[in-house]
A and B are shown apart, each in its own frame.
Chain A
Amino acid sequence: GESVGLHLPTLSVQEGDNSIINCAYSNSASDYFIWYKQESGKGPQFIIDIRSNMDKRQGQRVTVLLNKTVKHLSLQIAATQPGDSAVYFCAENNDYKLSFGAGTTVTVRA
């Protein structure tokens, strides 16, 4: 079965607000995590990654938080824009193979 899962399948957010997407993982030995964004009909695109020896990493408008104690990962998107509407997946890397959760569909309201 899947070792990575997301808490909510859908998220509706007002344009300009911040978005928080959550993910729980089960393999405590995982040492690398990635967030991907998938637009309709396209392949997933890399957003940001984090190693297990970190608890926070920031990119452009995005921040990933890792809580190894509760095996929880989150993606924060600042000032959400219409172009952020997509499905977001967290993935964990085990032996150079990625395991994905089911994804969270983010819809941005104008």
Chain B
Amino acid sequence: SQTIHQWPATLVQPVGSPLSLECTVEGTSNPNLYWYRQAAGRGLQLLFYSVGIGQISSEVPQNLSASRPQDRQFILSSKKLLLSDSGFYLCAWGGPGANVLTFGAGSRLTVL
């Protein structure tokens, strides 16, 4: 069966520090991968998605970047965090051509 892992689960970082959130998927090949952000009490906003290694599409201009160094690995990064980067970050995967996404447990980022 397929599983998705995200880490770290929680992170407290000072403004201006770098960020790296990692997501891996097991039990599938060539998944579509997604990063969403959820602000408190809000819906999910799509940040990045990827249909293959090295292929990244950005949905909104921001202080973050994403990379896909391996087929089942998706990384969310920032060189210098802003206060506004605080939130709950969710990684998700979908099979090629699939309509339903499966989400990870999320990473809660607090920037102070």
Q: Point out residues on A near B: beta carbons under 8 Å.
A: 2, 4, 32, 34, 36, 41-46, 49, 89, 93, 96-103
* Partner of A44 from B44, B46, B94 at Cβ < 8 Å: B44
Is the CB–CB distance between A96 and B32 below 8 Å? yes
Listed by A's residue number, 14 A-B pairs whose Cβ atoms lie within 8 Å are: A41-B106, A41-B108, A42-B105, A43-B92, A43-B104, A45-B103, A46-B102, A89-B43, A93-B99, A96-B32, A97-B59, A98-B101, A100-B43, A102-B43
Q: B104 to chain A: which residues have CB within 8 Å?
A: 43
Q: Once bound together, how far apart are the Cα atoms of A50 and B101, in whole Å?
A: 14
Q: Which residue of A lies closest to B59 (CB)?
A: A97
Per-position 1/0 for B39-59, Cβ under 8 A of A: 001111110010000000001
Is the CB–CB distance between B99 and A44 below 8 Å? no
Is the CB–CB distance between A42 and B106 below 8 Å? yes
Per the 8 Å Cβ criterion, residues 84-109 of B in contact with A are: 90, 92, 94, 97-106, 108
